[in-house]
A = this chain, B = another copy of it.
């Protein structure tokens, strides 16, 4: 899938929060995908219908973005564009929580969040206090499975060991680096990478759960490489982008997968 992605760059539409737009676009470019941040009413819907993949992240949901997000979700569902919902900090914050519930009803191909976000979205908790998780990955598995059964095929729960969950399977991806939690957008950009891999996976006949797992493996491998060649959260960021551009099959093999 990574070879396919690099040789035939999928066009990935992104509606994401203002904090991470730049890093998200750079992550997709480093990986080999073609990002386009189209997030206004009147453009987001038509673009999502023709893109190869779409990310909708609710991190800073202005009224304009809320409208554009719904348009994009509806258009992606109708056109069959694989799309990813990232329910950043849902729980007690009212606008994004209401929006995330409306969006998930449009049946995303994958949902990606930390444990607290997945639990809150499933209706069994109130979320973390800020954007960080107050729960661990394993405690979110029931919530993830419930979301997968009700709304869509795949739910990915990010943490020290990520869990990718469908109604009847769980794949765990280890490795990676805690440095990703010291760089803003470490999780948000992963959502965009999921959209890119869902597009590449579809092109080569891989199902959604395996495409999402592959995205996590690539992300974890790049993070490990970057941690080894950096000396803090600042130098980690360029090293991570370099690693996404150069990571190869041998390095992917080293990521624990179960």
Contact = CB atoms under 8 A, between A and B. Distances in A.
Interface of A: 11, 17-23, 25-26, 29-30, 34-40, 42-43, 46-47, 50-51, 59-64, 89, 92-96, 129-132, 181-185, 230-235, 237-246
A193 B15 CA distance: 27
27 contacts: A17-B37, A18-B21, A18-B37, A18-B39, A19-B25, A22-B22, A25-B184, A29-B184, A30-B234, A34-B130, A34-B132, A35-B184, A38-B60, A38-B93, A40-B60, A40-B63, A40-B95, A47-B93, A50-B129, A63-B64, A182-B245, A230-B242, A231-B242, A232-B238, A232-B242, A233-B241, A235-B241
A95 B42 contact: yes
A26 B236 CA distance: 12
Closest 5 CB pairs of A and B: A234-B241, A232-B242, A234-B238, A25-B184, A36-B130
A245 B103 CA distance: 37
Nearest to A222: B234
A95 B96 CA distance: 25
Contacts of A241: 232-235, 237
A60 B47 CA distance: 13
A237 B237 CA distance: 11
Given A22-B22, A36-B131, A234-B241, 16 more contacts: A18-B37, A26-B183, A29-B182, A29-B183, A30-B233, A34-B130, A39-B60, A40-B61, A43-B94, A46-B94, A231-B242, A232-B241, A232-B246, A234-B239, A234-B244, A234-B245
A37 B64 contact: no
Instruction: State the copy count for this chain.
Output: 3
Contacts of A19: 21-22, 25, 37
B239 A22 contact: no
A90 to B, nearest CB: 11
Interface centre among A17, A19, A95 (most CB of B within 10 A): A19
A51 B63 CA distance: 23
A217 to B, nearest CB: 19
Given A89-B36, A238-B234, A242-B231, A20 B22 contact: yes
Given A64-B62, A89-B36, A30 B232 contact: yes
A59 B181 CA distance: 27
A39 B35 CA distance: 24
A40 B99 CA distance: 13
